[in-house]
Amino acid sequence: MRLWKALGLAGFAGIAATGAILVRDERRRAKLTPEQVRDRLHERVKALPPQTSEASGVVASHRSPSRKRSVGSMRRRLSRHTGS
């Protein structure tokens, strides 16, 4: 039974430590203004090396494809097949 108590206390300590880290990081983020966040993101994007497609030699955008469009089209396809 002592093993279970020790594991429980270790788990509790781990959860408490994780919570403390999250709170600390959130405080750091809360101090930033939206302009500062935007500037930091722009700096990070500029620091990325340009990605080129080997086949076409076209520089790829740093944006990921829109998921809203793909989810919406999947919903429409599913609704056609199920009749709802």
- pTM of this structure: 0.35
Tell me the pLDDT band of 19, cut-offs 50, 70 and 90.
very high
User: How many angstroms separate the CA atoms of 25 and 16, rounded?
Assistant: 14
- 45, two tokens: 């994007």
pLDDT in tens, 52-77: 656 555 555 555 555 556 777 777 77
Domain-located, residue 22:
yes
Domain-located, residue 54:
no
Domain that holds residue 11: 1-45
Domain-located, residue 58:
no
Domain-located, residue 70:
no
Tell me the pLDDT band of 42, cut-offs 50, 70 and 90.
very high
Number of domains the chain contains: 1
Domain-located, residue 69:
no
